[in-house]
Structure 1
Amino acid sequence: MKKRKKSKSILLGLASTAAAGAGLAYLLKVKMEDDAFKGKVKQSGAAALFKTLEGINAVLPKLPRPSIEEYVSENFYEGHAEFRDTSVRGAKWKFGYARASLTPDDYLLKDYYLGGFLNYPPNTVKSVLDDIAVRAVCLDDGSGRGAAVFAVIVCIGLSGTDVRSIRALLADFAKANNIVSINISSSHCHSGIDTQGIWGVLPDILKNNVVQIKRGNFDNLISGRDPEFMDSLHKKTAGAITQAFADQKAGKLMFKTFNDLKYSHDKRKVGPKVVDENMTKLHFIPDDGSAETVGVLMAAHPTALDATMGELSADYIYYIEEEVNKSGSNFIFFQGPQLAVGVDRSFVSEDTPGRGFQAYGREIGKYLLGITVDEEEKILPILNVRNAEVFVPAGNFFMLTLLGAGIVNNQVVKTGRRTKDIMFVTEVGYVELGKTLRLAMMPGEFAPEMLLGGTSNSEESCTGMNWDFPPMKKMLADGTDLIVIGLCNDSIGYILPDNDYGCIFDDGHYEEAVSAGAQTGSSLVGAFETLVDDCGRLNK
């Protein structure tokens, strides 16, 4: 009898709990129609999640990190100590090009994880659609101040640690040949091999790494990166750079910036709707009549392929190259400020063969080749390059967890005893080509509104604050054309204006989940402004 009463009490309790739960769910549903209440719920959820991650970080065994006072800069290239305003009399551009395939031969013999989209189980390479590669160019203006190298790897992103490992392989060569600047960026292709570590079997990675860190076996850490592939990537990139230097020939360097090809759109649901509508063609014509080089600077995510199909591909970039190669020319691609910028294929003819992304690339290739030399502007042989190291606060506990577990290998330093007292060590760069063409090299996926203008004001932003910096284009003298190269010399995630760094659960705020932290935008744009000022180029 007592058991029956107890069972009855339990059933009544469960029924009461269910009724209360149903009532609470209904009340929550009604309240969630109130935007203010919904916002508070999301903010509370995000705060709870970050608190949980902070707790996890606090109990994780610690990797050895230098303090900011102990940090020693290695394999960083400052660039030209002296900037020139005029070319040397009689000087000509020296320009070299090289390309090396990175596609592994053994992709069916072991798992290569595809970097770009998180799935469980993770996506692996099952077939090769086209070639992934590193492309490099070497420039020298004949002034005797030293050459500069710009390489681009078809991958999702490359940490500053990897960039500096490649530079270390080149240290003796660079010193012997007066190479004063080595810059390596990524195409941000989402159908290439994981080069950052995030897209492997995360539960197995975490389990292994926590144990190995606790034991002090730091060489036994694993991630989504394949060590042999990364070693090959380092060596092949260094090899391409030495080849580009050896390939240098005298000739003319030309460019044309245009915006009559609507090739991109802003995918954001909320906030600024800004894209860099410009596309810039670079064109080197050697005096000896050998192969010309065509380059393009544009901003659009290469995310076309379904990662679950396992196709290894450079996306549309390969098909621009394919078209350019038909003319006998070399090709190089630079990714721009593509924070949330997708491709727009509306200009693509239905008659263009291939899948959508292939046709998109081929049409861009044809367009670039259709621009004649007469339409291009000559770049005087003036090359000025300067880089600066920057310390960026790491306030995002997603990123801190990835760092703490040894999954990503970005360079960081400690600034205090707390888990969150961490700063990324990264870099920004500034380049002048001729009298008017200017480049800003930024270490992540850059928001175009910080370059062009159009950031949210205090009434529009999610923090209720203004963005305190002018558009980067306005930091330079009138008549110059500033272009951003993104994911350059590092990859620390999305780079947003501080005043639009909001709750990760809000619509249109996915980027915050994979950003270094809330101060990333101001840290990097502020560093760029200081760098330009140090070069004597700030428009005051």
Structure 2
Amino acid sequence: MNKIGFFLFLLCTPQLAFAALKIGVWKENITPVLSERSTSCMGGYGLPLTNPRCDIAEAHDYLSLRALYMAYNNTQFSLIVFDTTGVGDTIINDIKQRVSMLTDKVDVENLVIAATHTHAGLDYQGIWGGIGNEYRNRIVDIAARSIIQAQSTAQGVKIFAAQTHVPISNRRGWDIVDDSVTTLFFDNRKTEQAIATLVNLSAHPTILDGNNTQYSSDYIDSLRTNIERKRGGMVIFVNGILGDAQFNTTERTVEKAKDIGNLVANAVLESEKAKQSVLGELNVSTMTFTHPVTSTAILQLEQNGVLDINLDDKDQITVDLKYVQIGKNTSLLTFPGEALSRLGLPIKRNMNGKYNLFMGLTNASYGYFIPSDEFGQIPGRNTEERFSMDKYAADEIKKVINFGIKHQNSVQKE
């Protein structure tokens, strides 16, 4: 075959030649407006139904929703991230239904909804006062339209990955914690200008404590702002193996939150100097996890009509987990709650490639997932146990994930 013939062959075979992963992004301000604030409450501090922080008058930094759309040929993966503690099941379902009503161009089966877990955001789960219907309806509509807007802006990109480490501690006293920061950099394929930066870090955004009376994304605000100012494009932050992970500080001020965010941002920007290209196709597989809820606290909240969680007639939850691979060296896993380190790190090590993003509180917010051999073993601490759906949920979800990864590997080898 001569050079012209070979060139024409490549043009007619896009999967072998010029197919490129495309991404699009979009961002919206989701801070409550004045009329919504009296019925909108912050979540995350104190036991459920206690310490309500409603009718907040000020915002230190605006709460945002950030959408990321990925496509490679006929495969899509879409992500919407809210600045909130967690997102309830019916809100997730309503967003997907709204997207389906507005367009058939976005694959809602591969659309996932995540929470940054800031405790200075609003309570989308309903257990610390919840949010009013006016605000709820508005964020559902904003979220649906945001992913459609992101899809409309999609363009070919070059992808790079990098990893670094920051000082994270385990609040349950173990000497194991995920202190890594894994970052994907998306640059315009032609101009090489930054389009997006996806940052995955495991740490509670709780520098601000329950005395805080301002809306905020906590340390995530300065993390995102600093990277966007210096690199350009939009930053999407997704929390990781966060169940027992935190920045160890006694200073609970906005200044300290800013300092920590800047520390992480500078580490991410420094890591970019050693970035590596991410090449290959986009593949998305689905694992379904079904498990009974036996926690008395969770069941009572659901039965009282407070907690937004979908249980079947056997008090079971069912949720889809997504395993996303970009080429051979990069993978992403969605996880429906707060994994503890002794659960999440072995799973993360079993994922394919060098750059693995473990995305917590994604597609559901089902509390803590604790290995059964750790359950109830930390003297003087049972916060995580009280809000774990079941003692054996972590063990079972680990089996589902590891089987799914193994199956996906075998399918790709065929």
Q: Shared fold by TM > 0.5? A: yes
Contact 1:440 1:485 in 2 (8 A): yes
**CA–CA distance in 2 between the matches of 1:484 and 1:538?**
22
Structure 1 residues 381-390 or 485-494, which shifts more? 381-390
Q: Which residue type is aligned with residue 127 of structure 1?
A: E
**CA–CA distance in 2 between the matches of 1:344 and 1:88?**
49
**CA–CA distance in 1 between the matches of 2:349 and 2:189?**
36
Which of the numbers 472, 479, 482 marks the counterpart of 2:347? 472
Contact 2:99 2:108 in 1 (8 A): no
Could you say which residue in structure 1 is the equivalent of 2:189?
A: 287
Structure 1 residues 330-339 or 279-288, which shifts more? 279-288
Q: Which residue type is aligned with residue 402 of structure 2?
A: E
Q: Please state whether the residue corresponding to 1:244 is helix, strand or coil.
A: helix
Q: Please state whether the residue corresponding to 1:400 is helix, strand or coil.
A: helix
Could you say which residue in structure 1 is the equivalent of 2:10?
A: none
Contact 1:103 1:132 in 2 (8 A): yes
1:93 aligns with 2:21: yes
Contact 1:394 1:424 in 2 (8 A): yes
Greater strand share, 1 or 2?
2
1:185 aligns with 2:85: no
Give 1:315 shift.
0.5
Matched ranges for 1:111-260 at <5 A: 111-118=39-46, 120=50, 122-124=52-54, 125-141=56-72, 144-172=73-101, 175-177=104-106, 181-200=110-129, 224-259=130-165
**CA–CA distance in 2 between the matches of 1:88 and 1:228?**
49
Q: Which residue type is aligned with residue 175 of structure 2?
A: K
**CA–CA distance in 2 between the matches of 1:507 and 1:384?**
44
Shift of the 425–267 alpha-carbon distance from structure 1 to 2, 3 Å rule, reads same
**CA–CA distance in 2 between the matches of 1:480 and 1:282?**
12
Give 1:393 shift.
1.1
Q: Which residue type is aligned with residue 358 of structure 1?
A: K
Q: Which residue type is aligned with residue 195 of structure 1?
A: Y
Q: Please state whether the residue corresponding to 2:124 is helix, strand or coil.
A: coil
Q: Please state whether the residue corresponding to 1:243 is helix, strand or coil.
A: helix
What whole-Å deviation, never above 9, does each CA across 1:423-449 have from its counterpart, x for those lacking one? 112222211122111122110001122
Could you say which residue in structure 2 is the equivalent of 1:376?
A: 275
Q: Which residue type is aligned with residue 497 of structure 1?
A: P
Could you say which residue in structure 2 is the equivalent of 1:317?
A: 220
Matched ranges for 1:479-518 at <5 A: 479-502=353-376, 506-518=379-391
Shift of the 299–482 alpha-carbon distance from structure 1 to 2, 3 Å rule, reads same
What whole-Å deviation, never above 9, does each CA across 1:316-347 have from its counterpart, x for those lacking one? 1111121122133211101000111111469x
**CA–CA distance in 2 between the matches of 1:276 and 1:309?**
27
1:449 aligns with 2:342: yes
Contact 2:63 2:83 in 1 (8 A): yes
Q: What fraction of aligned residue pairs are identical, expressed as a percent?
A: 22
Could you say which residue in structure 1 is the equivalent of 2:307?
A: 408
**CA–CA distance in 2 between the matches of 1:180 and 1:515?**
27
Q: Please state whether the residue corresponding to 1:232 is helix, strand or coil.
A: helix
Q: Please state whether the residue corresponding to 2:86 is helix, strand or coil.
A: coil
What whole-Å deviation, never above 9, does each CA across 1:500-539 have from its counterpart, x for those lacking one? 22279x4233201111111210221122123223323599
Could you say which residue in structure 2 is the equivalent of 1:337?
A: 241
Contact 1:305 1:311 in 2 (8 A): no
Q: Which residue type is aligned with residue 334 of structure 1?
A: V
How many corresponding residue pairs? Answer: 393
Shift of the 476–363 alpha-carbon distance from structure 1 to 2, 3 Å rule, reads closer
What whole-Å deviation, never above 9, does each CA across 1:15-69 have from its counterpart, x for those lacking one? xxxxxxxxxxxxxxxxxxxxxxxxxxxxxxxxxxxxxxxxxxxxxxxxxxxxxxx
**CA–CA distance in 2 between the matches of 1:538 and 1:521?**
26
Contact 2:183 2:198 in 1 (8 A): yes
Could you say which residue in structure 2 is the equivalent of 1:434?
A: 327
TM-score under structure 2 length normalisation: 0.88
Contact 1:529 1:538 in 2 (8 A): no
Shift of the 177–238 alpha-carbon distance from structure 1 to 2, 3 Å rule, reads closer
Q: Which runs of 5+ in 2 are unaligned?
A: 1-13
Could you say which residue in structure 1 is the equivalent of 2:257?
A: 357
Q: Please state whether the residue corresponding to 1:387 is helix, strand or coil.
A: strand
**CA–CA distance in 1 between the matches of 2:188 and 2:181?**
23
**CA–CA distance in 2 between the matches of 1:265 and 1:537?**
36
Q: Which residue type is aligned with residue 45 of structure 2?
A: F
Shift of the 149–515 alpha-carbon distance from structure 1 to 2, 3 Å rule, reads same
Contact 1:429 1:528 in 2 (8 A): no
Give 1:118 shift.
2.4
**CA–CA distance in 2 between the matches of 1:173 and 1:98?**
17
Give 1:139 shift.
1.0
Contact 2:36 2:134 in 1 (8 A): no
Q: Which residue type is aligned with residue 513 of structure 1?
A: R
Q: Which residue type is aligned with residue 484 of structure 1?
A: F
Q: CA RMSD in A?
A: 2.6
Could you say which residue in structure 2 is the equivalent of 1:82?
A: none
Q: Which runs of 5+ in 1 are unaligned?
A: 1-85, 201-223, 416-421, 453-470
What whole-Å deviation, never above 9, does each CA across 1:475-494 have from its counterpart, x for those lacking one? 445x5443311001000100
**CA–CA distance in 1 between the matches of 2:347 and 2:411?**
10
**CA–CA distance in 2 between the matches of 1:156 and 1:320?**
18
Q: Which residue type is aligned with residue 240 of structure 2?
A: G
Contact 2:106 2:148 in 1 (8 A): no
Shift of the 227–423 alpha-carbon distance from structure 1 to 2, 3 Å rule, reads same
